[in-house]
Amino acid sequence: MRLVFLGPPGAGKGTQARELAHAGGVAHVATGDILREALAAGTSLGLEAKRYMDRGALVPDDVIIDLMRERLAAPDAAQGFIVDGFPRTIAQAEALAGLLKDAGQALDRVIYFEVSERELLRRLTGRRICRRCQTVYHLVSAPPRTPGVCDRCGAELYQRDDDGEATVRNRLEVFARQTAPLLAYYHQRGLLATVSGEGSVEAVRAAIRAAVGAER
Ligand code: AP5
């Protein structure tokens, strides 16, 4: 299974990719998580990425492509992966195709999560994340049992710096301008499957499973 999860910020890519990769025994590769980990570790990659992430802009293609070349060559990705948050530009998509071709591999499917802008804003401004285990909550639709505390590990929950409303609006514009052209790109290659990302987490998961199992 080699899948790309494509969709605007807040569409539920991470929520679904984490579960499905775990269930399928494949790697979950999320570029945003890798960049945030690099920032937390204080690496030069993390510090460079922060300059873009804080304003909702994309990190330059060459930085992301180098990072993904290394990540997809790791042993845990050899049997399959779900990539979430990459590619985000045509240049990144071309680079991914090249990397896979060199490895004698190909994508099975690109899943596009369709969600209205109003719902994306609601989700992102209400999202809270565990500082330790990264479990994702929502203040209204998936609240923790104790406010501000992770159900799983008891650590503090925080709001991402780029989840304030102004930055979210910018991220949505960046998606429309730079990432949405990938829909036509993957449609032309027979790889695109669109699912509604607006149902319950379980309903969206079932739709993805159906899309992955369906004939291309
Ligand atoms: P990244 O971390 O990838 O952010 P994103 O793509 O904007 O996506 P999000 O993580 O915000 O949302 P998601 O779709 O995963 O939603 P989630 O499951 O959490 O990227 C951040 C930044 O890094 C970028 O802006 C850029 O600067 C940089 N970057 C990353 N990749 C890059 C690349 N390839 N090139 C260049 N730059 C790059 O869900 C959101 C909320 O909704 C949660 O609260 C969740 O509980 C809730 N929720 C989920 N599903 C449902 C549901 N079905 N119903 C109700 N609520 C739901």
What does the pLDDT look like over 45-97, one tens digit per residue?
Answer: 999 999 999 999 999 999 999 999 999 999 999 989 999 999 999 999 999 99
Question: How far does residue 188's CA lie from ligand 1's centre (Å)?
Answer: 25
- Burial (CB < 10 A; 0-12, 13-18, 19+), residue 209, is middle
118 catalytically annotated = no
171 catalytically annotated = yes
pLDDT at residue 216 tops 90: no
CB of 183 within 8 A of CB of 72?
A: no
- Share the mean pLDDT of the chain: 95
DSSP state of 5: E
CB of 35 within 8 A of CB of 138?
A: no
28 lines ligand 1 (CB under 6 A): no
8 lines ligand 1 (CB under 6 A): no
59 lines ligand 1 (CB under 6 A): yes
Query: Residue with the nearest Cα to atom 54 of ligand 1?
Result: 200
Sequence ranges of the domains in the chain: 2-128+179-213
Q: What is the pLDDT of residue 187?
A: 98
Question: How far does residue 73's CA lie from ligand 1's centre (Å)?
Answer: 24
HSE value, Cβ hemisphere, 13 Å, CA-based, for 34? 20
127 catalytically annotated = yes
Question: How far does residue 213's CA lie from ligand 1's centre (Å)?
Answer: 24
Query: Residue with the nearest Cα to atom 41 of ligand 1?
Result: 123
pLDDT band at 215 (very low <50, low <70, confident <90, very high): very low
127 lines ligand 1 (CB under 6 A): yes
Q: What is the pLDDT of residue 213?
A: 85
Architecture of domain 2-128+179-213 in CATH? 3-Layer(aba) Sandwich (3.40)
Annotated active-site residue in 36, 71, 127, 128 = 127
pTM summary value = 0.95
pLDDT at residue 14 tops 80: yes
69 catalytically annotated = no
pLDDT tens profile 135-159? 999 999 899 999 999 999 999 999 9
